[in-house]
Amino acid sequence: MGSNSRCCKPCIGDRISGLPDAILSHILSFLTTEDAVKTSVLSHRWFDVWTSVPKINLTLRSQAAFEPFAQFVDRVLFFRGSSNIHTFQLRCSVIEEDFCRIDPWIYTAVRRNVVEFEFDLEVDVDSKSHRYEGYELPRRLLMCNTLEVLKLTLNHKDIIINPPSDCFPSLKFLHVTLQYPGGRSLEKLLTCCPVLEDLIIEGHLKHDSVVNINVSAPKLKRLRMRLSMDLVRWDEGDYKMLEYKCKRIYINADAPNLEEFNLEDNFLASYSLNNAKSLSKAMIDLGRLYTLEDPDFARDSADRMHRLFAGIHNVTY
C-alpha cells in the first residue's frame, strides 16, 4: 500500500522551463510581442528566448498611446539585435506626424530578411492636413528579395504605393483588405508581382467607389475575391444610379496558369477573366446579390453575369 501511494504522488515541477529554447520560442510566437516580452520577468533565460522569436506581432488601436507604443517597438527591435525576423505584423492607429517613426521599423524588418509582412495603418481623420497624401510604403520593402507573403489593409487613401518596375521579386502570396479604398494604390500594386501565385482581395466599397483592378500575373494559380458594397437606402431617383455605379467597379484578370477562382459579391461588379485556360475549379457565391426591379438594371446584370461565366467555361469542378 505504501509503495503504491508513493507511485501515485503527482510530479511537481516546472516542465515548461525544461523544454529546449527552440520549442519555447515557437510557443511564444503564438503570443503578441507585448505578451512575449512579459515572460522575461521569469528569468534571464526567458529574455534570451523572446528576443529570438522569429515573429513580431504589434498592435495599437488608440493613437493617443502611440508614443509609449513607439518606444516599446524601438526597444524590442534593439534587444533583438541581428536575429532574423520571419514574420512582421504591424497594426497601428497614428497621426500624420507619426509616419517618420514607422519607416525605421520596416527598414529593420527588411534588413533582418523578413519573409511575411502584414501592415494595417489607420490614420486619424482629424490629424490630416490640407496637404495630406498618405503614408508611402518604403521602396526598400517593395524591393525586398526575401519577402514572400504580403498582407495589406488599404483604408481610404492612407497607404500609397509607387512601385518600381522590378519590385516584389519573390512575392508569392498577396492578401489585400479594402476598407473604402481611394487612390490607385491597389492598381499599382498588382502591376508588379512577377512570381505571384496566390491573390486574395476582400473588403468593403462605398456605393460611389471607382475601382479598377487589373491582375496580370503569369504564375497566378489561385484568385479569391470577396467584395461587398454598402448599399444605403436611397430615394427612388437614386436607385436608377445603381446600375451606373456597379459598372464603375472593374476586375480584369489575365492569368494563363490560374487553377482556382473563388468569388463572393453582393453587387456583381464587372468581372473579366481572360486567358484562363488552366482554370479547373471555381466557386461563385452571389447569394446576397442586391437587385432592382428595373428592366435596364436586369439587362446590365445579365450582361455582367455572362462575361463572368464566359471566363470560367473551362472549369470541371
Secondary structure class of 25 (helix, strand, coil): helix
| Residue-wise pLDDT tens digits, 216-243 | 889 999 999 998 876 655 554 555 455 4
In 3-state terms, what secondary structure has residue 306? helix
**Residue 38 φ/ψ region, left for φ over 0, alpha for ψ in the -120 to 50 degree band, beta for the rest:** alpha
Helix, strand, coil shares of the chain, percent, nearest 5, are: 35, 25, 40
Say if strands 116-123 and 149-155 run parallel, antiparallel, or are unpaired. Answer: parallel
- Taking the C-alpha atoms of residue 150 and residue 299, their distance in angstroms, rounded to an integer, is 39
pLDDT at 2: 52
Return the closest-CA partner of residue 284 out of 265, 263, 258: 263
DSSP 8-state secondary structure symbol assigned to residue 14: -
Q: Are 105 and 97 in contact (CB under 8 A)?
A: no
b/e 248-259 (16+ beta carbons within 10 angstroms → b): ebebebbbeebb
293 CB neighbour count, 10 Å cutoff: 7
Q: Report pLDDT digits (tens) over 80-131.
A: 989 999 999 999 999 888 999 999 999 999 999 999 999 999 888 776 676 7
Tens of pLDDT along 35-86?
999 998 888 888 889 999 999 999 998 888 999 999 999 999 999 989 999 9
Distance between CA 112 and CA 154 in Å, rounded?
25
pTM reported for the whole predicted model: 0.85
Domain spans, the chain? 19-53, 55-310
